[in-house]
């Protein structure tokens, strides 16, 4: 997958923020672990929805990317890009990916990832996916996620 740079049509501040997010995504797609980590701010975070979980800090991001580049990236068999949307608050990637989750076992997942740029790098990423995919993506780092204070999913609201 190639990340298309549409930032030149944006205002300067917005352009820089979008470029930060696109650079992060492109380095991740290219398999560049050190480059991906270099795009992150120290206080970076990851959020999982609809579960309402959050993991914070560069040390946890390193743990995640160690797992991701060693086990997840090599498992990709097909990627379908359904669209990329951007504004100064982030760049959203709507993707279907087929992954070889164990030898000869393929699973196809649809997910949405929003890369959130900050003033000097990427500050976070929000991922909408099911728990099975989240556990596969984050591996051992999944245990570092904690509930987001005050978050209620639509399922939680419907059950009340």
Give the mean model confidence (pLDDT) for residues 136-151.
Answer: 96
Share of the chain above pLDDT 70, in %: 89
Instruction: Encode pLDDT of 20-60 as tens digits.
Output: 999 999 999 999 999 999 999 999 999 999 999 999 999 99
Domain residue spans in the chain?
A: 9-147
Supply the pLDDT for residue 87.
82
The answer to whether the beta carbons of residues 4 and 84 sit under 8 Å apart is: yes
Q: Which tokens sit at 62?
A: 């390193």
Supply the pLDDT for residue 8.
56
| Mean pLDDT rounded to a whole number for the chain | 91
φ/ψ of residue 76, rounded to 5: -65, 125
Instruction: Encode pLDDT of 87-121 as tens digits.
Output: 878 999 999 999 999 999 999 999 999 999 998 99
Supply the pLDDT for residue 121.
94
- Kindly indicate whether the domain formed by 9-147 is annotated with CATH number 1.10.3210.10: no
The answer to whether the beta carbons of residues 68 and 148 sit under 8 Å apart is: no
Residues 134/73/26/118 CA torsion (nearest 10 deg): 30
DSSP of 91-133: EEEEEEEEEEEETTEEEEEEEEEEEEE-SSSEEEEEEE--HHH
């Amino acid at each position: 997958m190639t990340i298309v740079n549409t930032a030149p049509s944006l205002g300067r501040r917005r352009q820089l923020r979008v470029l930060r997010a696109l650079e992060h995504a492109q380095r991740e797609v290219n398999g560049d672990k050190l480059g991906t980590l270099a795009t992150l701010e120290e206080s970076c975070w990851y959020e999982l929805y609809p579960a309402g979980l959050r993991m914070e800090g560069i040390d946890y991001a390193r743990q995640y990317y160690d797992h991701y580049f060693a086990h997840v990236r090599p498992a990709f068999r097909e990627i379908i890009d359904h669209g990329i949307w951007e504004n100064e608050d982030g760049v959203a990637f709507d993707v279907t990916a087929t992954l070889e989750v164990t030898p000869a076992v393929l699973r196809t997942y649809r997910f949405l990832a929003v890369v959130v740029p900050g003033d000097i790098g990427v500050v976070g990423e929000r991922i909408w996916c099911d728990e099975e995919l989240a556990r596969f993506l984050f591996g051992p780092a999944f245990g570092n996620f904690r509930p987001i204070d005050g978050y209620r999913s639509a399922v939680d609201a419907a059950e009340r």
